[in-house]
């Protein structure tokens, strides 16, 4: 995967896996009979997981917190640095950037 696509994929997949693990380990939602409801709970936990660590990462940068806090928050999202994208309105260019 290209340079900025790999971190982006990791930062999507890692919170989803973390949400599923948190639900599995804590028993959240296991009294729900519906698989759909169970999945929804896991995704909600994953979304909260992502939001918390992304906010910590941004706050540490904004308030000039220790670099290890940003690195740790980023690592818990799957990649220590947020992906960087070139600014463009050209859809074809965005597609080219996402290819290996």
| Helical pair 35-62 and 5-26, crossing angle rounded to 10 deg | 120
Query: What's the length of the chain?
Result: 100
Domain spans, the chain = 5-98
| pLDDT at 32 exceeding the cut of 60 | no
Q: Looking at per-residue confidence, does 20 or 30 come out higher?
A: 20
Averaged pLDDT, 55-61: 88
Distance from CA of residue 97 to its chain's centroid? 20
What pTM was computed for the model? 0.60
**Overall average pLDDT of the 28-49 stretch:** 74
Give the count of beta carbons closer than 10 Å to the beta carbon of residue 27: 8
CA 13 to CA 33: how far, in whole Å? 25
């Amino acid at each position: 995967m290209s340079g900025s696509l790999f971190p982006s994929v990791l930062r999507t997949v890692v919170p989803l896996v973390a949400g599923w693990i948190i639900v599995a380990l804590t028993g959240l939602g296991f009294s729900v009979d519906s698989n759909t409801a169970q999945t929804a709970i896991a995704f909600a936990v994953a979304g909260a997981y992502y939001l918390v660590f992304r906010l910590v990462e941004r706050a540490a940068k904004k308030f000039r917190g220790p670099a290890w806090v940003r690195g740790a928050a980023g690592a818990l999202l799957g990649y220590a640095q947020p992906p960087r994208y070139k600014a463009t309105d050209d859809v074809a260019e965005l597609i080219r950037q996402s290819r290996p």
